[in-house]
Structure 1
Amino acid sequence: MFDIGFAEILIVSVVALLVLGPDKLPVAVKTCGMWIGRIKRSVTAIQHEISEELRVEELRRTTAISKEELEKELSEMRKPFKAAAKDVESAVADPNTASGTAPKGEASSNTDSDKSST
């Protein structure tokens, strides 16, 4: 992250010792360590939240794509059933042609032959 070498840390330590003195330096280092720890935890929490949001967004995208594919397959699977439903509707509307029964004229000739045979 930062390019801080040993020489830079040594210079900052010597300056801090001269400015703060030996009495206040341990307290200042402890406070500085606490602040650095809090900053690291905050950054880690933010990174975690961002990665979680990205994961959720990716799941939403894949779910939407899967939903579209399933809807296409479902519409393709419904086509034969819709055709069969239309055939059934036409059979209900005109029962003679759909059920394969004889037209009325042939049925009356059969009844006439039945009457003459009796």
Structure 2
Amino acid sequence: MFDIGFWEILVIGVLALLILGPERLPGAMRSTFYTIRSVRNAASGFKQEVEHQLRVHELHENLKKAEQKGLNDMSPELKKSVDELKDAAESVREPYKKK
């Protein structure tokens, strides 16, 4: 990600020790690591959401293609997409079925 070598990290550490002092340095490091972790988690969540939305869009496009072909003469990947959508729709309806 960043091209930071050993000497750059050492210089940053020495400067942080001189500026913050030994009392506040551990707390600052913890705070920095917590912030980095939360930014990474947010980026990961955003990435997963975008991938999910792209997959949904792809399934919708495949469903449109399948509907245009009349749901009869479909390629295997279109049939798989339609089956996935049917399964998803059935799983959503399942909790709302009357017993």
In the other structure, the counterpart of 1:39 is 39
State the structure with more CA Rg. Answer: 1
CA distance in 2, matches of 1:55, 1:71: 20
In the other structure, the counterpart of 2:16 is 16
Q: CA deviation at 1:4?
A: 1.7
CA distance in 2, matches of 1:53, 1:42: 16
CA distance in 2, matches of 1:40, 1:71: 43
Structure 2 length normalisation: TM-score? 0.68
Q: CA deviation at 1:24?
A: 0.5
The structure with higher relative contact order (CA 8 Å, sep 6+) is 2
- CA distance change for structure 1 residues 63 and 18 in 2, over 3 Å: closer, same or farther? same
Structure 1 length normalisation: TM-score? 0.58
- CA distance change for structure 1 residues 71 and 52 in 2, over 3 Å: closer, same or farther? closer
Are 1:7 and 2:7 counterparts?
A: yes
- CA distance change for structure 1 residues 36 and 62 in 2, over 3 Å: closer, same or farther? same
Aligned residue pairs: how many?
73
What is the aligned-residue RMSD (CA, Å)? 1.6
Q: CA deviation at 1:55?
A: 0.5
3-state secondary structure, aligned to 1:3? coil
Letter in 1 for 2:69: E
Gaps of 5+ in 1: 74-118
- CA distance change for structure 1 residues 72 and 30 in 2, over 3 Å: closer, same or farther? closer
| Per-residue CA distance 1:60-117 (angstroms, 9 max, x = gap) | 11110011011686xxxxxxxxxxxxxxxxxxxxxxxxxxxxxxxxxxxxxxxxxxxx
Flag the structure with higher helix content: 1
In the other structure, the counterpart of 1:56 is 56
Q: After TM superposition, what 4+ stretches of structure 1 lie above 4 angstroms from structure 2? A: none
